[in-house]
Structure 1
Amino acid sequence: MAGLLLRRAGGIAVTLLVTSFLVFGSVHLAPGDPASFLLGGRSASPAAVAAIKEQYHLNDPFLVQYAKWIGGVVTGDFGKSAQFRQDVAGLVMARLPTTLWLIGYAALLIVIGGLAFGAVAALRRGVVDRLVLVGTGIATATPSFVAAIGLISLFSVQLGWFPAFGNGSGLGDRVHHLTLPAAALALTFVGLLARVTRTAMLEELGREHVEVARSRGVPGSDVVRRHVLRNALGPISTVTGTVVAGLLVATSIVETAFGLSGVGQLLVSSVTVKDFPVVQAVSLLVVLAFVTANLVVDLLHPLIDPRLTRPKGGTA
């Protein structure tokens, strides 16, 4: 376990370093003068332009600029936002709770819905299975912004059950405000996880040890719980970890559609006005979420899938 942690920690460090280099380099690859981007397109005197270049070390060679920037990142200094005129770290941290609430709510819907629909499809072959496949196919193909528009139109405008905009305050009000955004964010991934769950369970249902358990008179619920679902959790957990990490990227569209002041909406507005310090910080945060989620899945996988900890030659 210690060796795995060291290897993965090294891999995470390398991934973040390479990503930071690519993200930082994107500013220099973009057409135009970086100083003009940082000024937000406003006309400025030569003295103001020179001050901006001095503040962001734009007169230094590229590698020197990168070294200074990554040195600040290591200490938590991501620079200042050209759009909001405040520290990027504080700006992101102020909006992070809303995004984490949204991701947590959506992840809960994804796990419950994906496992439930996938299990029903695997255990109820025929009409039910086909209906679930059609429904999950539609869900997987529905973009988040389309789902957001549909949910707002039906449940907010027509029925008035949920608010269309805002974060809410307090636990109950926040959950009420985030229900539609979480549903819009989760819809595509529920369909994906349901299909993965169905495939994994069908594979386990066809294995020899499941047939043996049934022939011995083991109740169907015990067969599913002990021999099918438990062994199927390996691929399911892998996909779930990747999906949850990917939610941070998908929040951009949903937060913008529902007017949520989260990290995703911050990324969209920063890209629009070319606020590169914020874009760089959020991009690193997304990559960190991906690699951390993969690390957690790798560590939990042996605990979730009993076959990985069983000695060779053991029975399922």
Structure 2
Amino acid sequence: MIWRFIARRTAMLVVTVLVASIVIYGALFIAPGDPATLLVGGGKPPSPRVIEEIHRQYHLDDPFVQSYWRWLTGMLHGDAGQSLSYRDSVTHLITDRMGNTLFLVAYAALLIILPGVALGTLAALRGGLGENLITVVTTTLMAVPTFVISVLLIWWLSVRWGWFPAYGSGVGFAGRIEHLTLPALALAASWLAYVAQVTQAAVRAELASEHVETARSRGIPERFVLRKHVLRNAAGPIFSVSGVAVAGLIAGASIVEQAFGVNGIGALLIQSAAKQDLAVVQTLALITVVVFVAVNTLVDVVTAALDHRVSLEAGA
């Protein structure tokens, strides 16, 4: 049963990525503007002959189907084409910046999952003033946009107190920790609040469930009830929302990297979009979709394996 579920989810993943690739390439294919102008320097208008030669060299005038197929087969072979503005291969541009983004996302994921699950569990178990305080804080964090949190963190922890640098990616592990702490906090804030609230709701639901009441009535120690019946059964939704949060970090990294001057693929996406560098934008957009869908597929499979109350047929 589980293998059929995995096979169906994998097939859906492939179809989703294929459709997304067509949409992404098609949208940028018909976008206004001429990418060939990126290769023409100087203030004078480019000559038609130069533009025509650039179009021929980079296949900018090819029909959509032919151009899309060349791009897709190249992507499958690890060749994402050439960047017109950076005069470099797209693959090299991305791999050169991928490490900073992965480090930032992993750092933010830790700041989301560990405090988020701890705060949500504490709020559900303690109740009272502590629960109200955690609810107010998490609700506020969810309401504040990421770029506003970025500005506040720069002003407070960098400019005012000087605890962390506000710009750059750092060198080495210690340097990255120092430079990426503020970006990771800004990236994680709203998702941490979301994970905390979902954890609180899941734990509270389990505390009120019939099997927990039955276990308590039988005299089972409270710590065993919490570990065996409450936290274990609440692990499914907690893992699910944590996976969605990690996938969402990839999409939100662009704003944070641009705000803090992190040399990652998110900042590269914004800069390339501003320059109409279609090869870079298409590749990064497709990578974002693939990672997001793949993470969500993995979360669905693991959630179904953790929580046997989830119907595999319904989930498919």
Q: Post-superposition shift, 1:106?
A: 0.3
Q: Post-superposition shift, 1:40?
A: 8.7
Q: Distance in 2 between matches of 1:5 and 1:38?
A: 46
2:7 is the alignment partner of 1:6: yes
Q: Decide which of 48, 51, 57 is 1:49's aligned counterpart.
A: 51
SS in 2 for 1:211: helix
Moved over 6 A (4+): none
Greater mean alpha carbon deviation, residues 127-136 or residues 292-301: 292-301
Q: Distance in 2 between matches of 1:151 and 1:221?
A: 38
Residue in 2 aligned with 1:184? Answer: 186
Residue in 2 aligned with 1:102? Answer: 104
CA 1:249 to 1:150, structure 2 compared with 1: closer, same or farther past 3 Å? same
Asked if structure 1 preserves the Cα contact closer than 8 Å seen for 2:169 and 2:262, the reply is: yes
SS in 1 for 2:62: coil
Residue in 2 aligned with 1:159? Answer: 161
Q: Distance in 2 between matches of 1:41 and 1:5?
A: 55
Q: Distance in 2 between matches of 1:236 and 1:55?
A: 51
Q: Post-superposition shift, 1:185?
A: 0.4
Residue in 1 aligned with 2:290? Answer: 288
Structure 2 stretches of 5 or more lacking a match? 312-316
Q: Distance in 2 between matches of 1:165 and 1:302?
A: 42
Q: Post-superposition shift, 1:34?
A: 4.6
Q: Decide which of 95, 113, 130 is 1:93's aligned counterpart.
A: 95
Q: Distance in 1 between matches of 2:9 and 2:304?
A: 16
- The amino acid of 1:252's aligned partner reads S
Q: Decide which of 260, 263, 266 is 1:258's aligned counterpart.
A: 260
Asked if structure 2 preserves the Cα contact closer than 8 Å seen for 1:144 and 1:188, the reply is: yes
1:129-148 to 2 correspondence within 5 Å? 129-148=131-150
Residue in 1 aligned with 2:279? Answer: 277
CA 1:83 to 1:261, structure 2 compared with 1: closer, same or farther past 3 Å? same
- The amino acid of 1:92's aligned partner reads I
Q: Decide which of 69, 72, 96 is 1:70's aligned counterpart.
A: 72
Residue in 1 aligned with 2:244? Answer: 242
CA 1:303 to 1:6, structure 2 compared with 1: closer, same or farther past 3 Å? closer
Q: Distance in 2 between matches of 1:40 and 1:153?
A: 39
Q: Post-superposition shift, 1:206?
A: 0.8
- The amino acid of 1:5's aligned partner reads I
Greater mean alpha carbon deviation, residues 5-14 or residues 180-189: 5-14
Report the TM-score when normalising by structure 2: 0.92
Residue in 2 aligned with 1:127? Answer: 129
CA 1:87 to 1:205, structure 2 compared with 1: closer, same or farther past 3 Å? same
Report the TM-score when normalising by structure 1: 0.92
Residue in 1 aligned with 2:60? Answer: 58
Asked if structure 2 preserves the Cα contact closer than 8 Å seen for 1:16 and 1:288, the reply is: yes
> What percent of counterpart residues are identical?
46
Residue in 1 aligned with 2:314? Answer: none
Q: Post-superposition shift, 1:130?
A: 1.3
CA 1:22 to 1:204, structure 2 compared with 1: closer, same or farther past 3 Å? same
Structure 1 stretches of 5 or more lacking a match? 310-316
Residue in 2 aligned with 1:22? Answer: 23
Q: Distance in 2 between matches of 1:278 and 1:189?
A: 28
Asked if structure 2 preserves the Cα contact closer than 8 Å seen for 1:231 and 1:306, the reply is: no
Residue in 2 aligned with 1:314? Answer: none
Q: Distance in 2 between matches of 1:238 and 1:176?
A: 30
Asked if structure 1 preserves the Cα contact closer than 8 Å seen for 2:38 and 2:85, the reply is: no
2:212 is the alignment partner of 1:210: yes
Asked if structure 2 preserves the Cα contact closer than 8 Å seen for 1:40 and 1:82, the reply is: no
Q: Distance in 1 between matches of 2:39 and 2:224?
A: 62
Asked if structure 1 preserves the Cα contact closer than 8 Å seen for 2:35 and 2:276, the reply is: no
- The amino acid of 1:168's aligned partner reads G
Asked if structure 2 preserves the Cα contact closer than 8 Å seen for 1:40 and 1:274, the reply is: no
